[in-house]
Structure 1
Amino acid sequence: MPHEDSRRITDMGTLKAIAQPLRMRLYRALYVAGAATASQLGAQVDEAPSLVSYHLRKLAEHGLIVEAEPRTGDGRERWWRPAAKGLHVHDEDFRSAPETSAAHTAFARLLVDQRADLYRRYLDERHAWGAEWTGASSDSESVLRLTSAELAELNEELLTVIQKYDEKGRADEAAGDTAGRENVALHTYGFPFRV
């Protein structure tokens, strides 16, 4: 069954479901794997399969993940996959009240913390990746003078480029070109600030 398009989270229940730190880690691991069981995910996040199963069921209750076709002949295993190609959470959907705004902010901070942890782990382990990968990796900061409309346009252009490379990589991998292919995290932030 094909994935839906990316899902926009607009309700507090779903936001709270994904905003739990272990659930966000499980969702990310499941997204990377494509499909997995609670036991497989538990090994990745160092948690008991029973606890992982509980959190997977909570994600499923909100339609964030769905059951997947089994990838082995063991009928006792329950396989899961993301229900959509990605998730989107926008500030404008949670501005209506202080508690919804606070929940959105807490979720955004969770993402920043988990992304920073992922990058710190890369920094600690980069010597093991070799010169080819460390040379291809990047860390940059640009300070631009833009209007909000220009920032929105820039974000759209960046997403278009990212989607192009994602689709190409997945198509090449499906065609058998797997040599040297790794998961790559690309985090971009565009936000105003004053000095």
Structure 2
Amino acid sequence: MPRRTASERHVATTPATADIGAETGSALLDVLTAFHHPTRRWLCELLAVEGPATVGRLASRTGLAVGSVSHHLGTLHRYGFVEPAPDLARDTRESWWRSRPRQVSWDATDFGEGTVARRIASSAEAENFRHHVRAVQRWLAEGETAPAEVRHAAVATDSLVAATVEQMAELSRRLTDLVVEWGEECRADAEVRPDVRRLPVRVSARVFPSGPVKP
């Protein structure tokens, strides 16, 4: 039996919906389950930061089995986080992948209390927080050896202000809009000036009610 081409192998995981980024209900839960898996999140970020790669290269980079990498990429493809990059392949058997930026937004309380759906949504939020903590811990461990201009460009800010719910919502919206706009500007600039040195920059912000924190 002839071996299927990379394109033929990707058909089974092609996203079934055109509403990527607007999922609700059970479809949203499937997205959360797919993305908030530490290994899949890692693969997503490797493609986003280091650029397109073959399954073999990702397996070598991560120490994972080729079959495991293919499985995870298939899941990420199904929910719109990565996409095949056949234009980079030297022949039809090579399987190249690239990052596909997309947003995911959810509120665990949109799902009934005590339901499996609520547990999935809450678990995704917890894993997302753990992912951010791991990133911050790595920066704290390695940041002192970074060049001075990099350390000075980074920021950690914290503020505790009495505000109305409406004011809190407005801050959340403005922060989100700013980060999205900034990201789009960075990607557009990278296309115009591909030879300029760039760093993978993570932006993580949380806006939430908080009383005094006991040590």
Alpha-carbon distance in structure 1 between the residues aligned to 2:55 and 2:194: 29
| Equivalent residue for 1:182, pick from 190, 194, 199 | 199
SS of equivalent residue, structure 1 residue 174: helix
Moved more, 170-179 or 149-158: 170-179
Q: Distance in 2 between matches of 1:113 and 1:92?
A: 17
Deviation at 1:52, TM superposition (A): 0.9
Higher RCO (CA 8 Å, separation ≥ 6 residues): 1
Aligned equivalent of 1:165:
182
Q: CA deviation at 1:90?
A: 1.0
Equivalent residue of 2:87, what SS?
A: coil
Change (3 A) 1:73 1:7: same
Verify the 8 A CA contact 1:6 1:88 in the aligned structure 2.
Answer: no
Q: Which amino acid aligns with 2:43?
A: L
**Scaled by the length of structure 2, what TM-score is found?**
0.76
- Superposition map of 1:40-55 within 5 A: 40-55=57-72
> In the alignment, is residue 23 of structure 1 matched against residue 40 of structure 2?
yes
DSSP-derived class of the 1:143 partner: coil
Gaps of 5+ in 2: 1-17
* Alpha carbons of structure 1 residues 121 and 26: separation in structure 2 relative to 1, 3 Å: same
Instruction: Give the aligned CA root-mean-square deviation in angstroms.
Output: 2.5
**Does residue 80 of structure 1 match 2:97?**
yes
Q: Which runs of 5+ in 1 are unaligned?
A: none
Cα offset for 1:154?
0.8
Distance 2:95 2:109 in 1: 33
Residues 69/5 of structure 1: CA separation in 2 closer, same or farther (3 Å cut): farther
SS in 1 for 2:83: strand
> 1:13 maps to what in 2?
30
2:78 pairs with 1:96 = no
State the Cα distance separating 1:82 from its structure 2 match.
Answer: 4.1
Tell me the alpha carbon deviations over residues 175-195 of structure 1, each in whole angstroms, 9 at most, x when there is no partner.
Answer: 125433211001001111234
> SS at the partner of 2:94?
coil
Report the counterpart of residue 13 of structure 2 in structure 1.
none
Amino acid at match of 1:70: D
Q: Distance in 2 between matches of 1:66 and 1:122?
A: 29
Aligned equivalents of 1:92, 1:109: Cα separation in 2? 11
What is the TM-score of this pair, normalised by structure 1?
Answer: 0.83
CA 1:7–1:93: 2 relative to 1, 3 Å = farther
Q: Give the corresponding residue for 1:141.
A: 158
The answer on whether the counterparts of 1:23 and 1:59 sit within 8 Å (CA) in structure 2 is yes
- Cα distance in 2 for partners of 1:86, 1:138 equals 25
Q: Which residue of 1 is the match for residue 85 of structure 2?
A: 68
